[in-house]
Structure 1
Amino acid sequence: MSRPETSAPPEVFYSDVESKKYTSSSRIQHIQASMTLRALDLLSLPPHQHILDIGCGSGLSGEILSQEGDHIWAGMDISPSMLGVALDRDTQGDLFLADMGSGIPFRAGTFDAAISISAIQWLCNADSAGADPKRRLARFFDTLYASLRRGGKVACQFYPRDQAQTDSILQAAKTAGFSGGLVVDDEQSKKNKKFYLILTAGVTTASDINLQGVKIDRPRTQSTRRISRKDESRKDYIARKKETMRKRGKLVALDSAFSGRKRRPKF
């Protein structure tokens, strides 16, 4: 069976017929609810948060956001048909027609958190001659980071085609400035295996997020990235360079943990 994202662009694949079929399936409803609840469990959010649902579709995940914690949410999706079904179902969130690969179209610091269920793997495909998956991933994570308040959290459930896609997604998130890790549920099951990318935009503590052992690393600050040699002695400069090389060696080791061979890799 072919994967949906390899069949056609999402706005084409999720036609009026497919959108209604998808939303009315009791099996899909159950799976979507289960994954959304799992994402919220991993994020450990307090009630009444402002949440962005990326790839919200017909609002199945949004229903859970409204029911669990009475969250206020906005949803964005590229499929007009999916959003049309969401409107017909009278969902409680604000809905926006937008392509996540073109960036998150909200001002800085708008949201406390973001979730995405079964969506970001679509960014890894070149649906048109001008589409560059690497640039789309970078634009998505860069603008997502900006749209979150300091310490904002993200849970993205996705279905990678292979390890290369997983690595591309993880690298794009890291480059954008996120800290976090990958949680894999039912790792030994081909049918039920689920990937959750859990991120934080800024400093957080272990008690703020439920990562079941995934470590949240302190992100590098702007000042540590742009230290001028003029502002330090030669001795301090050499010491800083040695520390940078030591940390890079550590990062390489952590990157290798993303291979999927461990249950809870970290970065």
Structure 2
Amino acid sequence: MSKRRPEHGLPPALFYNEKEAQKYASNSRLAQVQSEIAERALELLSLPKDEPCFILDIGCGSGLSGEVLSENGHHWVGIDISKAMLDVAAEKEVEGGLLLGDVGCGLPFRPGSFQGAISVSVLQWLCNAEEKSQDAMKRLRRFFASLYACLSRGSTAALQFYPENAQQVEVITRQAMKAGFSGGVVVDYPESTRAKKIYLVLFTGGFRQLPNALTAESRVQTECSVNERMRTSGRKIKRKPSKKSREWILKKKEQARRRGKTVTRDSKYTGRKRRERF
């Protein structure tokens, strides 16, 4: 018997409750998978190198994909239907803006606001109407029409999703094309049941060739080339600063300053562990 899909149970606003949100905050494996998908979605945008862009994160959740955008030097705004997930993102003090909203009702942004958009595991939720008054096709149409409008001309959207079947892929793609997009589906690791990931890659402003999908061979070649570059250059992988370390505290203080908050000045004692008093 096949495992029941989340979207066939509760609506997303109820499914992603406080318990589910904490799972995203504490489960390292879940965070790793989410970050890897976001990295790939960002790669599929083919943004200019070393140029910060303004990106829309659709279904931003607890901010895992937004952190990937920040680490790559981009600015972003995230929208999500789950307040519990957004609360986790706010607690983590992510660098992007956060907005509570149902993307099936349309994206509430000005025309041409973003230079790209990414999404992780959202589209399949739009194919289900939680109420009798809702129409899944209308929700898809509103979503894609508003997405097309808020993207700047010549930009790309990379939307990863978990379709229920081939028919659902066709329905989603057709609605995107009706909204004015060109593009199509990119399937990474199609030969693997576990690693297989599906992305809807959409272009505004004319037809472009779809990016190449990743395969098992390309994955090995990529890992080899990365290891070789590290070996020859002697550089180590850049890792996030550990929580409460001096580097972590300085980064958080700098984020607060950029937001206009009053922050105590840095000193040689910043981040030092205080002596215990008896």
Task: Return the TM-score normalized by structure 2.
Answer: 0.73
Correspondent of 2:67 among 63, 69, 83: 63
Correspondent of 1:72 among 67, 70, 75: 75
Correspondent of 1:150 among 145, 149, 153: 153
| Correspondence 1:114-263 to 2 at 5 A | 114-203=117-206, 211-212=211-212
Correspondent of 1:13 among 12, 15, 19: 15
| CA displacement 1:145-176 (0-9 Å, x = unmatched) | 00011112100000000111101110010000
The one-letter code of the counterpart of 1:23 is A
Instruction: State the 1:189 CA deviation.
Output: 2.0
SS in 1 for 2:61: coil
The CA distance in 1 between the partners of 2:137 and 2:79, in whole Å, is 21
Instruction: State the 1:188 CA deviation.
Output: 2.0
Higher relative contact order, chain-length normalized (CA < 8 Å, sep 6+): 1
8 Å Cα contact 2:56/2:77 also seen in 1? yes
Tell me how many residue pairs correspond in the alignment.
209
SS in 2 for 1:198: strand
The one-letter code of the counterpart of 2:134 is A
- Segments of 5+ residues of structure 2 without an aligned counterpart are 214-278
Residue 30 of structure 1 corresponds to 32
Instruction: State the 1:203 CA deviation.
Output: 2.7
The CA distance in 1 between the partners of 2:53 and 2:150, in whole Å, is 14
The CA distance in 1 between the partners of 2:25 and 2:105, in whole Å, is 26
| CA displacement 1:7-62 (0-9 Å, x = unmatched) | 21010001111111123111111101111111111111123100000000000000
Instruction: State the 1:204 CA deviation.
Output: 6.1
The one-letter code of the counterpart of 2:176 is A
SS in 1 for 2:153: strand
8 Å Cα contact 1:103/1:140 also seen in 2? yes
User: Does structure 1 residue 104 correspond to structure 2 residue 112?
Assistant: no
Alignment RMSD, CA only?
1.3
The CA distance in 1 between the partners of 2:198 and 2:146, in whole Å, is 22
Q: Give 1 or 2 for the bigger CA radius of gyration.
A: 2
- Tell me the percent identity: 50
The CA distance in 1 between the partners of 2:167 and 2:130, in whole Å, is 18
The one-letter code of the counterpart of 1:94 is G
Q: Which moved more, 1:157-166 or 1:40-49?
A: 40-49
